[in-house]
């Protein structure tokens, strides 16, 4: 297994996915997007998020004036497609086979897009980790503690890196300060794909 780096309790596995595996994951993600197109969620405060997203699995994450939540259907009313097998295999390798994730959130970061510090706390059972896969351009990933003002640490995530937020770090504040647009040739038009796997119920 790839050596891991611990960042405020988050396990980061640099280069966990080889180039061929990254290409396969991008192809699988494109299949997901064809079935459930990317959309820009509206925050409860009435502002659109700059990250475009979609999901695969039993549930997808959505946001609008009604709040942040999981839904069994895409905003267009269609069911989410299944989580692709190559994505599931990463979860089973690093988390185990006792329970599969119920959601694979797909975030696309274009040039200049970032994501502020936040917690992933819309799930019912925090004993299961959140697993994050980075594909494409490099991203500056920031992790703090369970308090918004806790000290943070950062690392540049590169294409093929995997991060696992579990245990005491499951509810850590985290975000993406910026991406280095054009640092990867994986996506012909540039940008970053982030896949996050979660147990919802």
Q: 136-183, pLDDT tens digit by residue?
A: 999 999 999 999 999 999 999 999 999 999 999 999 999 999 999 999
From the CB of residue 18, how many other CB atoms can be counted at a distance below 10 Å? 10
13: CATH: 2.60.120.590
Residue 134 domain boundaries: 5-198
Q: 10-20, pLDDT tens digit by residue?
A: 999 999 999 99
Q: How many separate domains does the chain show?
A: 1
From the CB of residue 172, how many other CB atoms can be counted at a distance below 10 Å? 23
- State the Cα–Cα distance between residues 42 and 25, nearest whole angstrom: 27
């Amino acid at each position: 297994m790839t050596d891991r780096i611990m960042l405020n309790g988050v396990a980061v596995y640099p280069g966990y996915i080889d180039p061929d595996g990254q290409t396969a994951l991008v192809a699988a993600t494109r299949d997901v997007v064809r079935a459930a197109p990317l959309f820009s969620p509206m925050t409860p405060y009435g502002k659109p998020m700059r990250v475009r997203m979609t999901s695969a699995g039993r549930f997808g994450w959505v946001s609008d004036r009604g709040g942040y939540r999981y839904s069994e259907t895409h905003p267009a009313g269609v069911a989410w497609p299944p989580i692709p097998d190559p994505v599931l295999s990463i979860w089973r390798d690093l988390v185990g086979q006792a329970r599969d994730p119920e959601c694979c959130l797909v975030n696309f970061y274009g040039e200049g897009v970032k994501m502020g510090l936040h917690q992933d706390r819309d799930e019912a059972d925090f004993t299961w980790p959140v697993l994050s896969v980075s594909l494409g351009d490099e991203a500056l990933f920031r992790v703090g503690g369970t308090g918004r003002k806790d000290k943070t640490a950062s690392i540049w995530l590169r294409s093929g890196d995997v991060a696992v937020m579990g245990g005491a770090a499951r509810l850590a504040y985290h975000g993406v300060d910026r991406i280095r647009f054009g640092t990867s040739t994986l996506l012909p038009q540039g940008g970053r794909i982030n896949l996050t796997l979660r147990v919802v119920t």
